[in-house]
Amino acid sequence: MDNKKRILFLSIICVFISLRLLRSLRGISFPELSENLIYPVENNNNRTSTTRHVLFGLSGNHTGFLAEFEVALKSVLLNGPRDSMDIHIMADEDAFEALYFILHTKANLVNWVKIPWPIHIKVYNIQNLEEGWKHIIESRFAVATNFTSFSLYRHTIGAYYRIFANEVLPPYVDNVLYIDTDVVILGSLEDIWQQQAATDEDILFSWGARMCSGFMILRPKHETELWELYSQAPEPLLKKIIRGRPVVDDQFLLTVVQKEFPQRVGIISPEWDISAADGSWKRDGGKQMQAGMLHFNGGGESKVAYFEEHTFLKDPIWGLVKYYVNMPWSWANFLLTSKLKSGEQSYSVQVSFETRT
C-alpha cells in the first residue's frame, strides 16, 4: 500500500472512531460548562396548590457531609406526603458539582419511574450570592460578635443559606420545611403540613420548643423581616442569649426573634423536635416513644458523618437510622415504586440544576 492510500485509510479510521466516540457521549451533560443548566424541562402541570416543599442547604464537598445528605434524602423520599413534592437544594459550587454525581450517577434518580406522586429535585448554585450574604451577616452581627469568641462560620456559611431562601426559591413557595443533613425522617411528612405548618400570616417560622434550627418550617416571603426584627432587640437580650449558648449564627438570629417577638413564631410538636444535643431522649421516663425525626447534631468541626462515630447509634431508638444508612439507592427506588397502587397515575422523578445570580 503506497503512502497516499495509507494516509487515506488512516483518515477514514480516525473519522469512524471520532463518530463512535461522539455517539457514545450523546446525552451526557456537564454542569460546569453551563451557567444555567436545567434538565429535564420542568412540567408545571405536576405542581398543584398542595405541592409540599422541602429545603436543604449544602456547602462544600466533604464525603462525610455528603454521605449524611444521602441518608437524609432517602428518608425524605420514602416518608414524603402522598402529593406533589419539590425538594430544593441550595448549594455552593463544590456541593453543586458533587450533587450532579450523587443524584444522576449514584442514586440514578432520573431513571426512577412509576413512582406514586410527582417529585422534583431542584438544585440551585448560589455561589455568586455568597459574598453579598456574608456582608449582611457580618454587618448585622457586628455588635453580637463582641460577646463571643466563636467564628460566625463555625458551621460554614451553608448554615445561613436557609435565612436567604427568599432570594433563591420560586415566589410561589409559601411554607418550606428546612432539614439539616444530619436529620433522618422517621414519620410521614404529611403531618408537617396538615398539623404543624402555621396558617397565620403573622408567623415568620415554626420550630420546636428547644429552638433548634436544624428542623424548621420557614416562610420565605417573610425572611427579610427576620433581620428587621433582630435589629430591634436590645443589647442585654443579645448578651443573655449568648451566655446560654455562646455562638452567633443562624440559630442565634432566630432565637433573638423568638425571645423578643414570640407571637411571630410557631411551635411544632415534640415528635418533630428530637435532637441528640438534648440527650438520649428518654422523655417522660421513656413513656413517650413517638418520633417523627431524629437529629444527630453533627457539629461544625467534625468532617466525619455522624453514623461513623456517634455514640447514640448503640441506642435501640437512635439506631433506627441505620435502616436508611445501609439502604442501597436501588432498594429505596423499589420501596417508593411499591407504594404505587394499581390503576393510579405514575410519575418520574425530575432533577434540575440551575445557577442563581
* Number of domain units in the chain: 1
Give 23-41 pLDDT, tens digit per residue.
433 333 434 433 333 333 3
Residue type (1 letter), 5: K
Give 144-153 pLDDT, tens digit per residue.
999 888 878 7
Instruction: Please tell me which of 30-44, 246-260, 303-317 the model is most confident about, judged by mean pLDDT.
Output: 246-260
**Whether pLDDT at 233 is above 90:** yes
DSSP 8-class letter at 115:
B
Give the strand pairing for 215-218 and 119-125: unpaired
User: Chain-centre distance of CA 36, in angstroms?
Assistant: 20
Q: Does residue 20 sit within a domain?
A: no
Which residues share a beta bridge with 115? 347
Give 143-186 pLDDT, tens digit per residue.
999 988 887 877 789 999 999 999 999 999 999 999 999 999 99
Q: Does residue 227 sit within a domain?
A: yes
Q: Does residue 229 sit within a domain?
A: yes
Residue with cell 435589629: 231
User: For a pLDDT cut of 90, what percent of the chain falls above it?
Assistant: 62
Q: Does residue 109 sit within a domain?
A: yes
Domain that holds residue 82: 52-269+328-340
Q: Does residue 89 sit within a domain?
A: yes
Q: Does residue 258 sit within a domain?
A: yes
Q: Which residues contact 109 (CB under 8 A, 6 or more apart)?
A: 103, 121, 349, 351
Give 105-128 pLDDT, tens digit per residue.
999 999 999 999 999 999 999 999
Q: What is the CATH number of the domain that holds 209?
A: 3.90.550
Give 268-302 pLDDT, tens digit per residue.
998 899 888 766 555 555 555 688 999 987 654 55
Q: Does residue 185 sit within a domain?
A: yes
Computed over every residue of the chain, the mean pLDDT equals 84
3-state secondary structure of 125: strand
pLDDT value, residue 346: 93
- Least confident piece of the model among 60-64, 101-105, 172-176, 317-321: 317-321
Q: Count the Cβ atoms, other than its own, within 10 Å of residue 232.
A: 10
Q: How confident is the model at residue 56 (pLDDT cuts 50, 70, 90)?
A: very high
Give the CB-side neighbour count of residue 133, counting CA atoms within 13 A. Answer: 25
Give the strand pairing for 350-355 and 176-179: unpaired
